[in-house]
Structure 1
Amino acid sequence: MIDSVIRYSATITAGGLMLPEARKVAALLQTNPTQADWVKAICADNLLQKNTPATSTRQANLLRARFGTLPKAALKLIASGSQEAAAQLVFAACIKHSTLIADFMRSVVAGHVRRMDEAIARREWDIFLSECAARDPAVESWTASTRTKLFQVIVSMLVDARYLESNRTLKLRTPSLHPEVRALLKHHGEDALIDTLELRP
């Protein structure tokens, strides 16, 4: 059940799963960097290999905020675990960090799986946003380009996390949570997050 009082954010337009960058940021965070260390790594050393310090800072800060929602033990698996496990944990962080993504998973993606639908239709994003606007009127002010970008970012995440076959077909895949990811989240009491990742009602 989705709460009746919610505040949604469009900040995820700053980046999708960004797995290569996420691994680097997770490795950096494992060193418990000071703010000076963080700025040096992201801006001076250009850890993420971006064209401008502003882009590096924006993406690194978003990833750090996402990872702050997960148990600290997740950083090691993101930084050096298998690609599948790392991608699932980064996506788990996205769900924890963004109510918009979490509600889309529970309302749209899980609903499709329960009904055994083959694919997600683009129009369902518009319907979903209308429902979001009923809970948070600020959503009404999002421009058409922002709405389109949000859909593109979420679809990209779902493809990278292996919930969709491609961003062209939008065909659903059967989700399978990596054993290490499941064990880590279970150990830290993240049962609700596991349910969302496994598309349970």
Structure 2
Amino acid sequence: MRRGNSPYSAAITGGGFLFEETDALLPLLKSPDREALVKDELVNNRILHINAEKSRSKAILEIKRRFDVMPPAFWEDYQAMNEDDRRIALLFVILKTYKILFDFQINVAIKKWNSVSRTIDLQDLAMEMNEIAAKDEFVDSWSESTKTKVASAYLSMLRKCGMMNREGNLVQLKPSNADFYIRIGEPWFLEACFLAPYQIENIKKQMS
């Protein structure tokens, strides 16, 4: 669901967070026989255990999309991380893959975190979506149903990576390998995890 020169896509609605599924599929995606192995998994469902073939196909498509956004070395580092850090790293990959979610994180979530009320809901995201749609014809062409699905997928993602609790309050993420994101030239992600400037500076000092 991407059209013309728009950098936006509603493809996130085809998958969701897909943490366990990503971990399961990584060995196939890293293999020289990737295409054959992925095709076999689509047909035979040996590792994903997603019963409906249509749902399985969508999940595989989105995991492949995310995998290809990052260099191979990233996935080597990813597999060496503990589970909490892998969840945070997958959030990073997702924000790199889907610009609409990146905009939600930077323009809505961070502002909410720095405000009195550290909650975020569909209405907050609808306002940002309207801002984007005013400048992007493709997003403007989305149905209200699609817009709601994209926003709902984002909120679900925040819960699954631990950035939102059951009450809907935002939670600071603290990757134990925070220096990793500075080392790969992506320090913005630490702010996206709601780390304060002084925390980020302390990490940089510890690295030097």
* TM-score grouping bracket, smaller chain normalisation: 0.7 to 0.9
How high is the TM-score relative to the length of structure 1? 0.84
Residue matched to 1:61: 61
Cα distance change on mapping 1:135 and 1:90 into 2, 3 Å: same
Contact 1:125 1:151 in 2 (8 A): yes
1:39-98 CA distances to partner (integer Å, 9 max, x unpaired)? 113323432111233322221121121122223233245446322111111111110001
Give the unaligned 5+ runs of structure 1.
none
Aligned-partner residue type, residue 148 of structure 1 = T
Find the residue that maps to 1:115 and give its secondary structure.
coil
Partners of 2:180 and 2:146 in 1: CA distance? 34
How high is the TM-score relative to the length of structure 2? 0.81
Aligned-partner residue type, residue 185 of structure 2 = G
Shift of 1:23: 0.6
Residue matched to 2:179: 183
Contact 2:45 2:51 in 1 (8 A): no
Residue matched to 1:46: 46
Shift of 1:32: 3.6
Identity %: 21
Residue matched to 1:135: 135
Moved more, 140-149 or 94-103: 140-149
Shift of 1:21: 0.3
1:108-141 CA distances to partner (integer Å, 9 max, x unpaired)? 0000112242311332121111101022122222
Partners of 1:69 and 1:98 in 2: CA distance? 10
Aligned-partner residue type, residue 196 of structure 1 = A
Q: Which has the higher contact order (CA 8 A, sep 6+)?
A: 1
The alignment's C-alpha RMSD in Å is 2.3
Contact 2:133 2:139 in 1 (8 A): yes
1:82 pairs with 2:78 = no
Find the residue that maps to 1:135 and give its secondary structure.
coil
Give the unaligned 5+ runs of structure 2.
198-208
